[in-house]
Amino acid sequence: MPTMKTERRWIVLAEDGRHVTIGRHTDPSPGEISRAGEQLSALGLGGWLAVLEGAYYRPEDELSLLLVSEIAPTHGPTWSMAVDTFLQVRSNVLSPA
């Protein structure tokens, strides 16, 4: 059976576990990163730029998240707390009750 290539994308991970893809086939520009940070701050959220590897919608795929940098100041939740919430949301999406 052929090995599937690992999916890799840049994401913005908010401190509440929500995320958005900011780059899939190219690296995000400094302007895109700056605007994402500004938008998070405008919502009262902190967040990070990260690289996500693995297929989000394939439950058998383990995801890895690599922290690149903080792009909006956080208000309590840590990177690891945001990742835990992100993974829980993913689990709920992939196996709804």
Q: What's the pLDDT at 58?
A: 87
Q: Where are the domains of the chain?
A: 8-94
Of 47 and 3, more confident: 47
Is the confidence at residue 45, as pLDDT, over 70?
yes
Per-chain mean pLDDT for the chain: 91
Separation of alpha carbons 49 and 14, rounded Å = 9
Q: What's the pLDDT at 3?
A: 47
Q: What's the pLDDT at 5?
A: 61
Of 59 and 85, more confident: 85
pTM, two decimal places: 0.88
